[in-house]
């Protein structure tokens, strides 16, 4: 996410595990604008707005697997890539049965689709089994939302996608904490080479 592998699993499971995913992160001002929008929606729906510093778009979720496979994960990411591009967020949706409110592009940019497809293909080539559902570009902004409402229009936003990251999710009694482990810059016409990220927590996933 071995014998029979589970979603997001690696070739085998043993020893200490890590819970990892790949994501792109918005600029700080874009994240703050999305957070303000989510808090406005929360007044009507209830629930928990995702913290601005935890807002992200997931490209591939691996789940928990042994730390010994981290090298294969990094190698997969270095072979993946796409050109830098803009990510429009011009659609919002409330998924009532799951208590979620999210934003995303009305139409997924081809380069974002190419990045997710390339990354997932490289991970599978290393033996990682991922969710086979079609990639859905979305950014979760509200969790545990109750009342179904007509969502307000999203503000105009600027989200240039110039890199993607490998993130460790640390679970505890509250919302997950996210730590970026490596960054992979996007360069037109080239594959990427990941650089270790300085230790940094992106904070919790909700408030």
Q: Please give the residue range of the domain that contains residue 77.
A: 17-202
The alpha carbon of 189 is separated from its chain's Cα centroid by a whole number of angstroms, namely: 24
The predicted-structure confidence for 45-72, as pLDDT tens digits, reads as follows 999 999 999 999 999 999 888 899 999 9
CB 82 within 8 A of CB 135: no
For residue 57, which phi and psi values (nearest 5 degrees)?
Answer: -120, 120
Q: Is residue 100 situated within a structural domain?
A: yes
Q: In sequence order, which residues have a C-beta less than 8 Å from that of residue 134 and are 6 or more positions away?
A: none
CB 67 within 8 A of CB 176: no
Looking up tokens 């105009």 gives 156
Nearest one of 143, 153, 154 to 46, comparing CA atoms: 143
Total tally of structural domains belonging to the chain:
1
Give mean pLDDT, residues 182-203.
66
Q: Is the pLDDT of residue 154 over 70?
A: yes
Give the number of residues written for the chain: 207
Residue 9 confidence class, pLDDT cut points 50, 70, 90: very low
List the end-to-end C-alpha distance of the chain, in Å, as a whole number: 26
Task: Tell me which of 43 and 195 has the higher pLDDT.
Answer: 43
| Residue 177: CATH number of its domain | 3.90.1140.10
Concatenate the DSSP letters of all residues of 45-59 into one string: H-SEEPPGGG--EEE
Q: Is residue 154 situated within a structural domain?
A: yes
Q: Is residue 112 situated within a structural domain?
A: yes
CB 27 within 8 A of CB 158: yes
Confidence at residue 6, expressed as pLDDT on a 0 to 100 scale: 35
Would you name the residues annotated as active-site residues? 56, 138
**pTM score, whole prediction:** 0.83
Q: In sequence order, which residues have a C-beta less than 8 Å from that of residue 192 and are 6 or more positions away?
A: 77, 78, 80, 81, 164, 184, 185, 186
The predicted-structure confidence for 125-134, as pLDDT tens digits, reads as follows 999 888 888 8
Give mean pLDDT, residues 92-117.
95
Q: Show the tokens assigned to 16.
A: 């200490």
Q: Is residue 67 situated within a structural domain?
A: yes
Q: Is residue 4 situated within a structural domain?
A: no
Confidence at residue 190, expressed as pLDDT on a 0 to 100 scale: 55
């Amino acid at each position: 996410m071995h014998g029979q592998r589970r979603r997001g699993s690696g070739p085998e499971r043993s020893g200490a595990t890590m819970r990892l995913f790949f994501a792109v992160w918005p600029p700080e001002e874009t994240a703050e604008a999305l957070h303000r929008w989510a808090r406005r929606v929360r007044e009507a729906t209830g629930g928990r707005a995702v913290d601005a510093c935890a807002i992200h778009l997931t490209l591939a979720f691996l789940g928990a697997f042994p730390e010994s496979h981290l090298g294969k994960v990094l190698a997969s990411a270095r072979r993946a890539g796409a050109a830098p591009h803009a990510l429009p967020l011009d659609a919002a949706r409330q998924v009532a049965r799951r208590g979620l409110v999210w934003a995303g592009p009305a139409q997924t940019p081809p380069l974002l689709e190419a990045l997710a497809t390339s990354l997932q293909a490289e991970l599978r080539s290393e033996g990682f089994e991922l969710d086979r559902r079609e990639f859905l570009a979305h950014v979760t902004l509200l969790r545990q939302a109750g009342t179904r409402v007509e969502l307000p229009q999203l503000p105009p936003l600027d989200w240039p996608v110039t890199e993607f990251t490998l993130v460790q999710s640390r679970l505890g009694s509250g919302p997950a904490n996210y730590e970026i482990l490596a960054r992979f810059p996007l360069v037109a016409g080239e594959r990427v080479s990941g650089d270790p990220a300085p230790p940094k927590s992106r904070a919790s996933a909700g408030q």
